[in-house]
Amino acid sequence: MKKKVKTYYLLIFILIIGGLLRFFGQYPGFPDNHPDEGISFTTGVYMLYHFMEPNIFYYPAGVPFIQALFYLIFFIPIVLLKLFILHPEYIFEFFSKGFIFFTKYHDAIFGVRDISAMFWSRYIVGLVGSGTVLLVYFVSKKLFNRQVALFAALFLAVNYRHVLGSHIGLPDTYNGFFSLFAFYTSYLLLEKQTRRRYILAGIAIGLAVAMKYQIFTFIPFAFVHIILLIKTKKIGAVINRNSILTIFISVAVFFLINPYILKNIDEFKYHADLTYRWYQMGNYQFRLYPYFYLFHWGIGEFVSFAIVLGAVFMARKSLLKFLMLASFIVPFFFMLTIYSNGGIYTRNFSTVIPFLTIIAGYCAWIFLQYSKKYRWGSLVLISLVICINIPSFNNSFLLSYYYSKTWNSDILMQWMDKNLPSNITLRNHNLVLAWKNRDQYFSILENKHINQSDWEYAYGPSSVAEFQAEEVDFVILNDNRLQNVTYWWRGWSADKLIKYSEVPYDYIMNGFFGLSAAELMSYSVHEIYKPWQAMSTGNYIIIKIPQKLDDDGRKIAEFHFDVESDMWSIRGLMNLKPPSFRFVPTIGKNGNGSVAIYGKGEGNTSRISSSAISIEAGRTYTVKGWIRNSAEKLDIDRESFLRIDFYNDMNNLDTLGVGVAVSPRAPISDEWVMEEVSAKSPYGAKYMTISFQRVNLPRSISLQDFTSYLDDVEVFESESEAIESFKELPYINNPTILLEDLYPNSFF
């Protein structure tokens, strides 16, 4: 009896921890602009007005159906009570007009653009996520014992990926809860094959499929019947009235929640086909990135090891239960990491993580049994389990804490309104603003007479030199947009990705867009960001573009590539497939030769670089060179650029310099064009190198043959400095945003 009481106290403590991590930070939480979340909560509201018919079939109606029920039973009565207290005259109107009342006062009930419903949906998913912790306890207890159950519940309570999934109203956390419930009901059939249990299994499986169009929950049910067939050697143990009844009930439950699919079958097929193509289904290929993400961030290194060890122990000591869990886990990972590219959207793993924590809990229990042989062994083991969960707890806490802070877009609007000068030229990424900030943004632009234009990576300027050429005063960088041109590493093969233990920053930052971002950030005047744990649709860096220096100064070096011995060194290969570099004796600016990058390749970090040039810290260096891009046809208008790297010594010339700068990308014109780049050498710098490099990022370009030539490079040194404009907004000497915050490890 004492053990039971102690267990329940521990369980309550774990549930409190899990609940606090999932509910703290729900307001204001993630910004109100996640497209998939809008599908859920707005559909839930729509269904209340249209006899539970959804307006979109990208996901099943299960999640919005649950949300609509909670709205109706819990949230709407609270809102109406508040409304009637503040406006007693509405009571008569409510009873006299009935349904029309909800149409007339839609915004008062659900919020403008259903913003209140969005927060309601997040409280609901927080409840479901917390409920999953409790369900993991009961399932683990049924499979094994209370100790395994407590360990498993603890692992899930603090798991970062699951806590993150419990902060936004997407289907994956619901799917995890109902999939685990369906698994539990299937497992019960191993003990006793009663009609009631078959009915329960049918209901649970139908509910799980109604959350997402996934049939993984049928596999444990089928596995149970394979075991029954092996045990009884009777086909009737597999095919009987009860098993058929389960299938019938599961289908009936699905269509009870999704009756309008049949009416809208064409739209359903359209969205199903869209998902099939979006997830690249049928493209069989092992993709390491999902495992890389889970190991380093989603689950964590130590807990991942516990899962692997737990699987080994369980396979040896409880093979049937191991195979039962594997019957869900293995097909899930096969679908998301081999059959499709769905694993790149890591929120999908919120579904399977509860199953994995059961295995981790089993591992902890096995070690607990061994530790009991030694004095203080159990205490040491439990302390160790707590310690290996600290990184996940820390990440989950930071997530919840920073989600409780004001949205970045709110802060950005306040800063722009107060600090951004009038009558300037501004370029900014799509800022992905919260809806309430969008009118405010345009009002600021109008009131301050700001000449604003979009900053798109597909066209227009992206570097300091390119912005200078267009006389831009300020730019606003949104890391959400930067991610769109720097996430390609997630598609790397295993042999490349396995060499890293974090986001491959060296790859990202040695490409054109990483280089240009690093250069731009050296001129930042303000930062608005949250740490990587609190994933967002925008961390913002406000950058003041420096004026161009008029005086080049004295020439200190030149390169003419007249003979092959003038060829520069190849750097930055990074085990990718680079284009080729060569000396061309017959083509040059003045006909005497040049160096060239030619052919196909994916190595956008590879370059040819000069030897180290001695410099003085604090002086401005300008590099001018003639570039020619020769191509019959290319689906971009600019490629290849010059690059400056500053170094403190000559030991690491293959790496990113302590300061960098890039020239404008040269046009695709088959003509020689002079491009130049200038930069002030940072404190402590003693050397610089000049490089010639390709952008070569979009996949379509890497499949095309073309040649980029470089000739007649000159290097100048000046003691002059560009005149700083808008001195009321000084440059930040030491930007605080970290690389891990700027370059996310995953999509939400």
pLDDT tens digit sequence for 677-722: 999 999 999 999 999 999 875 444 444 568 899 999 999 999 998 8
Let me know: does 129 contact 174? Beta carbons within 8 Å.
no
Q: 400, 423, 453: which is the final residue of a domain?
A: 400
Please give the pLDDT value at position 704: 55
Please give the pLDDT value at position 31: 94
Residues 439 and 352 in one domain: no
Inside any domain, residue 437: yes
Please give the pLDDT value at position 236: 83
- What average pLDDT score do residues 79-86 get? 96
Average pLDDT, the chain: 94
Residues 647 and 538 in one domain: no
Q: How far apart are CA 359 and CA 368, in angstroms?
A: 14
Indicate the pTM of the whole model: 0.95
Residue 691 one-letter amino acid = S
Q: 361, 383, 400: which is the final residue of a domain?
A: 400
pLDDT tens digit sequence for 568-580: 999 998 877 777 8
Residues 294 and 388 in one domain: yes
pLDDT tens digit sequence for 472-507: 999 999 999 999 999 999 999 999 999 999 999 999
Q: With cut-offs at 50, 70 and 90, classify the pLDDT of residue 673.
A: very high
Q: What angle do CA 479, 480, 481 make, to 5 degrees?
A: 90
Give the closest residue to 18 by CA, choosing from 150, 182, 191, 189: 150
Residues 345 and 483 in one domain: no
Instruction: State percent of the chain over pLDDT 70.
Output: 97
Inside any domain, residue 202: yes
Residues 417 and 392 in one domain: no
pLDDT tens digit sequence for 340-383: 999 999 999 999 999 999 999 999 999 999 998 888 889 999 99
Residues 142 and 60 in one domain: yes
Range from 414-418, 632-636, 731-735 carrying the lowest mean pLDDT: 632-636
Looking at the predicted structure, is the pLDDT value of residue 668 above 50?
Answer: yes
For helices 195-211 and 218-232, the axis angle rounded to 10 degrees is: 150
CA dihedral 709, 712, 713, 718 (to 10 degrees): -150
Inside any domain, residue 453: yes
Q: 365, 400, 435: which is the final residue of a domain?
A: 400
Q: How far apart are CA 477 and CA 150, in angstroms?
A: 45
Q: What angle do CA 630, 632, 633 make, to 5 degrees?
A: 110
Residue 524 DSSP class: E
Residues 327 and 420 in one domain: no
Inside any domain, residue 748: no
Looking at the predicted structure, is the pLDDT value of residue 538 above 60?
Answer: yes
| Number of compact structural domains in the chain | 3
Alpha helices of 475-579 — where are they, by DSSP H?
479-482, 494-497, 505-509, 512-521
Inside any domain, residue 211: yes
Range of the domain at 561: 554-718
Inside any domain, residue 53: yes
Inside any domain, residue 724: no
Inside any domain, residue 466: yes
Q: Quick check: bond before 259 cis, omega within 30?
A: no
Let me know: does 396 contact 158? Beta carbons within 8 Å.
yes
Please give the pLDDT value at position 633: 63
pLDDT tens digit sequence for 15-38: 999 999 999 999 999 999 998 999
Residues 70 and 182 in one domain: yes
Let me know: does 617 contact 686? Beta carbons within 8 Å.
yes
Residues 479 and 570 in one domain: no
Residues 525 and 499 in one domain: yes
Q: How far apart are CA 181 and CA 681, in angstroms?
A: 61
Let me know: does 210 contact 253? Beta carbons within 8 Å.
yes
Looking at the predicted structure, is the pLDDT value of residue 9 above 70?
Answer: yes
Please give the pLDDT value at position 701: 46
pLDDT tens digit sequence for 619-665: 999 999 999 998 766 677 888 999 999 999 999 899 999 999 999 99
What CATH number is attached to the domain comprising 658? 2.60.120.260
If you search the block for the tokens 């969960």, which residue do you land on? 389
Residues 425 and 527 in one domain: yes
Let me know: does 399 contact 298? Beta carbons within 8 Å.
no
Residues 96 and 152 in one domain: yes
Q: Give φ, ψ of 662 to 5 degrees.
A: -130, 150
